[in-house]
Structure 1
Amino acid sequence: MHWWRSLVAAAREGLRVQRAFSAPWAIARAVLAVLLATLLGLMLNDPSAGAMASIGAYICAMATLLSSLRHRVVNALAMAAAYSGMAVLGALVHGVTWLFLPLLAVAAFTAGMLRTLGVAPSTRACFAVMGLMITGSMSPSVHAGLLMAGWIAVGTALAIAVQLLPPYDPRFAAQRRALAEAYRSLSAVAGTVAAGAVGSTPAAPTAPFIAARQALDLLPQFSRPAAAALFGLLGEAERIRRTLHTVQATAPATDVVADRAGLQAAARVLDAVSRTVASGREHRTATAEWTRLEPWAAASPERSPRDLVARLREAEQLARRSTEGRLGGVLEPHAEIPGLYAGCPTVARTARRVRAQLHPQAPIFRHAVRLAVGVVIAELIGQAIGRWGGLGIPGHGFWVALATMLVLFPEYGQTVARGLGRAAGALLGGLLAWALSLPDWSPTGLAAASVVLASMAFLTRGTGQLMLNLWLTAWIVFLLHRAGALPGPTAWARAADTVVGAALAVLIFLAWPTWSNRRLPDLLAQWLRLQDRLLPQLVTGYASVGAADPAAIDELRARTRQAREQLQAAVRQSHTEPAHHLSPWSTRQLDEISSQVSTVAGCSTLLLEHLPRTPNDTVPELTELADPLHEHLAALARAAAGAETVTPGALRSAYDSFAARSGLPLVAADSDSAAVSQTVALCTRTVDAVEDLTTVIAGRWCTGRARGR
C-alpha cells in the first residue's frame, strides 16, 4: 500500500504543470541566441553547423535561466567554457571506449557532488557533462567531433553576447533578489497574523533567509563595502523577523482591530521595501501606513510594537540608500551579522562543504556514485540499442545516458516524478515531431520551426518535466532532421531512448536508495547538537548586558537554521516514500517532531530578542539553567540517533528545582522591569517546548500498526 501511494503521489507531481511564465527578458535573450545560431547555419548553408551552434546557444542560455547567485554574464562565460571544453575533450577521446567511459564516470560523479551546493550548480555541471557525451558518443570521427565542438563554442559565444544586451539589472542583482524574497516572506507573515488576529504564530520560512545569507556570502571582500546597505538590510530583516515573532507571541489581544490595522500597515511597508530592494528604484510607502503604525505602537503596553516600527523605519532608509549610486558608508547595521560581513574565502568554504559529503554514508556521495554508475550503464545500453536495431540512427548511447543523468536525483519522489514526467513528455514530443515531419519542409521553414520549438522549450522550462520535454524532444528531432535529413522514425527513437533512460534511473535509485526516513534520526540529532550549543549561550547572555557573543550566536543560528531546513525537508520527502518501515517514528510523530522543532526554534528566537539592553533587564540566575539544558539536549541528541533512551520530564524536574532554589518566580514578581517577568515566562515556555519534543522522540520505534497513521 505504501508503494502504491508513493507511486501515485510521484506520478501526480511529475505530470503536474507547475508555475507560469516568468523572466520574460531573460527568455527573450535566450531565444535570440538560438535564433542567431540558426541564422548562422542558414547563411553558411551548413545545417550541421547551425544545429551544433543552436545546441551550444541553447545549453548556455538555459544555464543563465537557472536560479543564480552570480551575474548572468559570469554564468554564461562559465557555462560556455565548461560546455565547450568538455565537447573538445569528448571529441579527442571519441572511439577510445576504455578512456571515454572512465572520463564520463568521473565527470558525472563531480556533477553529483556539486549537488552539495544546490540544484542549479549540479544542473549546470550536468550540462557540461552533456558536452562530453555529445561529441564522444555521437560524432562519427575525431575530426568531425572537433568540428562539432567548434560550432558548439560559436553557439555559446552567441549566448554570451546576448547577455550583454539591455535591459540591465541593478548592481548586485542576485543579492537583491534574494533579499527581496526575504522581505516578501516577512510581509506575508505580517499579513497572515493580521488576518488571523494577534496570537496566531505562523513561522517565517527559513529558506529565504538562508538564500539571502548565501547570496551575500558569495560577494568578494573588495565589493562588500559597496554592498553595505544590502548587508544592513539583511541585519534588519533578521531583527524584524524576531520582532514580528515577539509581537505574535506577547502582544495582548485587547484591541484586536488596532493590532490588525498596525500589522497590515507593517505588511505593506515590508512589501514596499521588498520592491525597492529588488528593482533598485525607490517605492515609497504611503504616509497613511505610518499614521496607522505609529499610534498603534505608541498605544501598546509592550515594547515589541515600538521596536517593530523603529526597525521598519531603518529598513526603509537602508532600502532607499541601496538605490543610490554609491552604496557604501552604512556599516553600523552589520553588527547583526558580524561573522557574515567578515566572511571567509568562497573557495575554502565550498571545498569544506563538499569535503563534508565525501564519505560513503553521505546522501550526496551516494547520489554522485549512483549518477556515475548510472550514466556509464546507460551509455553502454544505448550503444547496444544502436548496434542491435537503431533504425539507422547513431548515438543512442548519448540519449539514454542523458535521460538517466537528468532524471536521477538524490530523493525518491523527485527521481520517480521526473522520470514519469520526462518519459511522458518525450512520448508526446515524439508524436508532435512525427506529425511535423510529414510535410515537405524547406530549409528556411525547418529553421523557423526549430526556433519556435526552442522558444517553447524556454517558455515552459519552469512548468515541469512534462511540458519542457515535450517541446525539447520535438526541437531536438527537428535539429537532427535539418542536420542529416533523418527519417520520421527519429522521433520515436528519441522518445524510446528517453523512456529507457528514465526507467533505468528509477531502477538504479531503487537498487541503492537513499531514503529520507533513514536519515531523519541523524538530521534530528544534528539539529539538537546545535541547539545544545545555542540555548545555553542564550540563557547565559542574561547574566549582564553584552554577556552574549554576537558573532558566535550568529554563526550558530545560521547553522541551526540550515539544519532545521534539512530536517523538515526530509520529513516532507519521507511522506512520499514507500520505505516507512525504516523510520523510528510514525508519520504523525514526524509531523509532531517537525512542529515541535519549529516551536523550540521560535523560543530561541525570542530568547535572543529579549537579551538584556539595560542592567534592570538582566536575570543572572538563569546562568544556572545552562548546565541542565546542555545535559538534557545532549542526551536528547543521543536518543534521537538511537544511542540511548531518554525520559520525559527530567528537564522540567531540574528546572523546577532550580527555580525553587534560586527564587526565580520571586525575582520575576519583585522586578520593576516587565522584561524580567517576560524572560522568566519565556524560559519556562522553552523548557516546556523541549519537554514536548522529548516526549515525541521518546516514542521512537513505534509498532508497525501505528506507523503511517
Structure 2
Amino acid sequence: MRWWSSLVTTGREGLRVQRAFASPSAIARAVLDVLLATALGLLLDNPVAGAMASVGAFICGIGTLLSPLRHRVVNALGMAAGFSVMAVLGALVLGTTWLFLLLLAVAAFAAGLWRTLGVAPGIRGCLTLIGLMITADLAPDVRGGLVMAGWIATGTGFVVVVQLLPPYGPRFATQRRALAALYQSLAQASVTAGSAALGPSAPFTAARQALDLLPQFSRPAAAALFGLLGEAERIRRALQTVRLTVPAPAAAGNQQALAAAGEALDDISRTVASGRAHRTPEEVWTLLESWAADSPVRGPRDLAARLQSAEQLARRTTDDHLGDVLEPHTEVPGLYAGTPSVARTARRIRAQLLPQSPIFRHAVRLAVGVVIAEVIGRSIGGWGGLGISAHGFWVTLTTMLVLFPEYGHTIARGWGRAAGAVLGGLLAWVLSVPHWSPAGLAVVAVLLAAASFLTLRTGQLMLNLWLTSWIVFLIHHVGGLPGPTAWARAADTVLGAALAVLIFLVWPTWSTRRLPGLLAEWLRVQDRLLPELLTGYADVGATDLAALDKLRARSRQVREHLEAAAKQSHAEPAQHRGSWSTAQMEQISTQVSTVAGCATLLREHLPRTPQDTVPELTELADPLHEHLAALARAAAGAETVAPGALRSMFDSCTARSGLPAATSDGSRSAATSHAVALSAATVDAVEALTATIAARHRPRRHAAA
C-alpha cells in the first residue's frame, strides 16, 4: 500500500504544471540566442551548421535560465566553455567505444559531485555532458565531429555575446535576489505566531554564499549588502527575543507591532531587489518607536533599532548610493575576509568524497547509470527503422536528467519526462506531416525553442512536450529522417526514465534512513555548543566567541540537512520503516528549531559587564552535556532517555543557588533575570525534544555509532 501511495503521490507531482517562469528578459535573451544560430544556418545555406549552432545556443540558454549564483555573463561563459570542450572531446573519442564510455562515466561522476553546490549547478553539470554525447553518438567521423563541435561552440558564443545586451538591471543582481528573499522570509516570520523557534536557515545560507562569491575587488562597492546580511541576523535574534520575553499582557500590541515590522521588512526587501527606494510609511516607524519606548524589556528596542539600521543600509543599495563609503562604526562582516570561492568549492566537494555521503552515492549511481543507458541505447538499434541505429544518446540523456539524489524527485521526473515525451512525439509527428521550406523550418524551430524556454520551470511534463517536439523537428528534418521517428524519441525517453528509476531502486539513498543519524549528529553539535554557552556566563570573555560561531555554523548546516531530509522523506515508500512518522518528524523539526533559537539567544546575551554574569548557570553545563550525549545516542537508536531529569536538575540547581528568589524580587539585574529565563527556555526545549524522541523512538537491535 505504501508503495502504491508513493507512486501516486510522486506521479501527481511529476505531472503537475507549475506557474513558475524565468524573468522575461532572460527568456528573451535565450530566444535571441537560438534565433541568431538559426539565422546563421539560413545565411550559410548549411542545415548542419544551423542545427548544431542552435543546439549549442539552446543548451547554454537553458543553463542561463536556471537559478544563477554568479553574474549572468560568468554563468554563460562557464556553460559555453564546458559544453564546447565536451563536444570536442566527444569528437576525439569517436569510434573508440571503450574510451568514450570511460570518459562518459568520469564526466558523469564529476557532474554528480557538482550537485554539492546545489540543484541548478548540478543540472548545469549534466547539461555539459550533452555535448560529449552529441558528437560521439551522432557524428559521421572524427573530422565531421570536430566540425559539429565548431558549430556548437559558435552557438554557445552567441549566448555569451547576447548576455552583454541590455537590460542590465541593478548591480550585484544575484546577491540582491538572495538578500531580498532573506528579508522577505524575515517579514513572514515576524507576522507568524509562534515561539522563539528559528525560521528556515536556508535563506541565510543562500545569501551568505551569494555574497561570498563576490571577488575581493568588488566587495567595497557591495559593503551595504554585506551590512544587510549582518543586520538580518540581528533582526532574527531580536524577533526571537521579542517572542520569548515580551509579557503576555502586551500580546495584542506586540502582534500589531510585529505586523508593522513585517511591513518594514517587506519594503526593505523590495528596495534591495529593485535598486529603487520603497519607503515605509511614517506611521509604521512611529508605531515601532512607541512600542519600543513603552516596552520594559530589551527585545522591542533592539528590533526597532535594527530595523532602522537595515532601512538605512537598504537605501545605500539603490543605484544612486551603491558604493558609498559606510561610516567607520558600521559593522560589515565578511567584507574583506573569506576564502576564495575556488578553494571553498574544492573544500565542499572534497567533503563529499565519503562512501556514506548521499552526493557521493548519487555521483557513482549517475556514472554507472549513464554507461548502462548508453550500452542499452546502442543495443536496441533504431526501433525497427524509426530511430537512429547504433547510438544511445536519447536514452542516456533521459537517464542522466531523471536520476536525482532523492527518491521523490527521481520518480516525479521520470513520470513527467516520459509523459511529456509521448505528447511531444505526437506534436512532432503532426508537425512533420507538412512539407517545410528552410525558412518555415527555421521559424517553427525557433518557436518550439521559445516554448521550451518559457515552460522550463513549469514542470517536466510541459518542458519535455516542447523539448521533444523541438529536437525531433530540428534534428530529424535536418537529417532527412521520416516523420514517425518522433515515436522513437518518445520510446527512448520512456526507456531512459524507467532505467533511471530502476537504478535508483536497486541502489537507493533513502532520506528516511538518514534522519536518525542526522538528528544524532545535530545533537552532538549541541552537546558541545550549549554547555559552552552556559560556561560563557561565568565571566566576561569566559568563552571563545570564534569557536562558538564555528559550532553555530556547523549546527546550522546539519539542521539544514535534517530539514531537507525530513521534507524528502515524505514521498518515500520506506517512510513506514523509519523511526518516526511524517507528523512526528515535523514535530521534531519544530523542536530542533526551538532549541537552535534558544542557543542563538544565549549567544546574543552573553555577559558584557561583570554585573551581567551568572556564574551559577555553569553548574548546569555538565548535566546538560551528559543529557545531550545520551539523547544523541537515543536518536541513533542505541538507548532511550527518560524526560524530566534535566528539568529537575535545573530546578534544583537554581533553587540551591537562590536564582528563583533573586529573579523574582528584583535583587538581581535585568540581564541576570533574562539569562535565567533563556536557560529555562533552553532546558524546556531540550526536554520537549527528549519527550518526543523517548515516546516515538523505536528501539533498534543494532546501536548506531
TM-score interval w.r.t. the shorter chain? Answer: over 0.9
SS in 2 for 1:579: helix
User: Is residue 21 of structure 1 aligned with residue 21 of structure 2?
Assistant: yes
Contact 1:235 1:333 (C-alpha < 8 Å) held by counterparts = no
1:552/1:281 CA distance change after superposition, 3 Å:
farther
Select 1:675's aligned residue among 652, 671, 674.
671
Query: Which 10-residue stretch deviates more, 364-373 or 278-287?
Result: 278-287
CA offsets 1:510-557 (integer angstroms, 9 cap, x no match): 000011111111111111122122212322232334545443333322
User: Which residue, out of 676, 681, 702, partners 1:685?
Assistant: 681
Q: 8 Å contact 2:646–2:687 — kept in the other structure?
A: yes
Give me the whole-angstrom Cα distance separating, in 1, the residues matched to 2:336 and 2:551.
15
Q: How does 1:419-458 map to 2 (within 5 A)?
A: 419-458=414-453
Task: Specify the SS of the correspondent of 2:404.
Answer: coil
* Residue of structure 1 equivalent to 2:81: 81
Runs of 4+ aligned residues of structure 1 deviating over 6 Å after TM superposition are none
Query: Which among 251, 256, 266 is matched to residue 271 of structure 1?
Result: 266
Q: Deviations over 1:48-83 (max 9, x none)?
A: 111110110111121111112211101111111110
Q: Which residue of 1 aligns with 2:281?
A: 286
Distance 1:661 1:367 in 2: 54
> Is contact 2:221–2:322 with CA below 8 Å preserved after alignment?
no
Q: Kindly provide the CA deviation profile for residues 327-354 of structure 1, in whole angstroms up to 9, marking residues without a partner as x.
A: 444564547x56x852123233222222
Give the root-mean-square deviation of aligned CA atoms. 2.1
Residue 213 of structure 1 deviates from its aligned partner by 1.1
In the other structure, the counterpart of 1:565 is 560
Deviates more, 1:212-221 or 1:493-502: 212-221
Aligned to 1:70: 70
For residues 365 and 311 of structure 2, the distance between their equivalents in structure 1, rounded to whole angstroms, comes to: 49
In 2: Cα distance, 1:31 partner to 1:388 partner: 33
| Gap regions ≥5 residues in structure 1 | 194-198, 705-709
Asked if structure 1 preserves the Cα contact closer than 8 Å seen for 2:30 and 2:58, the reply is yes
- DSSP 3-state at the match of 1:205: coil
Q: What is the deviation of 1:699? A: 4.2
Query: 2:308 — aligned with what?
Result: 313
- 2:44 corresponding residue in structure 1: 44
Once the two structures are superposed, the pairs formed by residues 203-218 of structure 1 within 5 Å of their partners are 203-218=198-213
CA distance in 2 between counterparts of 1:620 and 1:395 reads 77
The 1-side partners of 2:583 and 2:253 are apart by 38
Q: Is the 8 A contact 1:585 1:699 kept in 2?
A: no
Cα distance change, pair 428–395 in 1 and its aligned pair in 2 (3 A): farther
- In structure 1, how many angstroms separate the alpha carbons of the residues matched to 2:363 and 2:221? 38
Q: Is the 8 A contact 1:48 1:482 kept in 2?
A: no
Give the 5 Å matches for 1:379-398: 379-386=374-381, 389-394=384-389, 396-398=391-393
In 2, Cα distance between equivalents of 1:18 and 1:231: 34
Alignment of 1:393-432 (within 5 A): 393-394=388-389, 396-432=391-427
The residue that corresponds to 2:533 in the other structure is 538
Give the Cα–Cα distance (whole angstroms) in 2 for the partners of residues 703 and 581 of structure 1. 15
* 1:609-655 Cα deviation digits (max 9, x unpaired): 33334443332221222222222222222222234443333322332
Question: Counterparts of 1:525-674 in structure 2 under 5 Å?
Answer: 525-669=520-664, 670-674=666-670
CA shift at 1:696, angstroms?
2.3
Change (3 A) 1:332 1:17: farther
CA distance 1:256–1:696, shift in 2 (3 Å): closer
SS of residue paired to 2:247: coil
Identical amino acids, percent of aligned pairs: 70
What is the distance in 2 between the residues matched to 1:78 and 1:472? 23
1:586, 1:702 within 8 Å by CA — same for their partners in 2? no
**C-alpha deviation, 1:222, in angstroms:** 3.5
Instruction: Indicate the SS of the match to 2:481.
Output: coil
Does the alignment pair 1:697 with 2:684? no
Q: Deviations over 1:387-410 (max 9, x none)?
A: 563425246400000000000001
Give the Cα–Cα distance (whole angstroms) in 1 for the partners of residues 192 and 589 of structure 2. Answer: 21
Tell me: CA distance 1:298–1:692, structure 2 relative to 1, closer, same or farther (3 Å).
same
Deviations 1:77-136 (A, max 9, x none): 111111000000000101100100000000001111111111111111101111111111
- 1:101 — aligned with what? 101
CA–CA distance in structure 2, aligned partners of residues 444 and 348 of structure 1: 49
Asked whether the equivalents of residues 516 and 636 of structure 2 are also in contact (C-alpha less than 8 Å), the reply is yes
Q: Which runs of 5+ in 2 are unaligned?
A: 701-705
Instruction: Tell me, yes or no, if the aligned pair for 1:94 and 1:142 is still in contact at 8 Å.
Output: yes
Structure-1 residue corresponding to 2:12:
12
Which residue identity is paired with 2:687? Answer: E
Aligned partners of 2:406 and 2:568 also within 8 Å:
yes
In structure 2, the residue matched to 1:326 is: 323
- The residue that corresponds to 2:703 in the other structure is none
- Change in Cα spacing, 1:621 to 1:62, as seen in structure 2 (3 Å) is same
3-state SS of the aligned residue for 1:386? coil
For 1:514 and 1:307, the matched residues in 2 are separated by: 45
- Counterparts of 2:439 and 2:662, CA distance in 1: 86
Equivalent in 450, 455, 459 of residue 464 of structure 1: 459
> What is the distance in 1 between the residues matched to 2:102 and 2:23?
38
In the TM superposition, what are the counterparts of 1:230-309 in structure 2 within 5 Å?
A: 230-309=225-304
Distance 1:490 1:176 in 2: 46
Total equivalences in the alignment:
697
| Counterpart mapping for 1:130-149 below 5 A | 130-149=130-149
Cα distance in structure 2, aligned partners of 1:350 and 1:269: 35
Confirm or deny that 1:493 pairs with 2:488.
yes
| TM-score, normalisation: structure 2 | 0.95
Query: 1:244·1:308 contact (CA, 8 Å) conserved in 2?
Result: yes
What is the CA–CA distance in structure 2 between the aligned matches of 1:259 and 1:581, rounded to whole Å?
42
Task: State the distance in 2 between where 1:383 and 1:161 align.
Answer: 37
Is the CA contact (8 Å cut-off) linking 1:232 and 1:331 kept in structure 2? no
Whole-Å separation in 2 of the counterparts to 1:47 and 1:95 = 24
Alignment deviations for residues 664-704 of structure 1 (CA, whole Å, 9 cap, x no partner): 22332343433322321221121121122122223465399
Q: Please tell me whether residue 110 in structure 1 is matched to residue 115 in structure 2.
A: no
TM-score (norm 1): 0.94
Q: Tell me: CA distance 1:646–1:61, structure 2 relative to 1, closer, same or farther (3 Å).
A: same
2:56 is matched with 56
Distance in 2 (alpha carbons) for counterparts of 1:556 and 1:320: 33
Please tell me the residue identity of whatever aligns with 2:170: P
- What is the distance in 2 between the residues matched to 1:436 and 1:253? 68
Aligned pair 1:121/2:118, yes or no? no
The whole-number CA distance in structure 1 between the counterparts of 2:170 and 2:541 is 38
Matching residue of 1:347: 342
SS in 2 for 1:342: coil
More moved, 245-254 vs 92-101 = 245-254
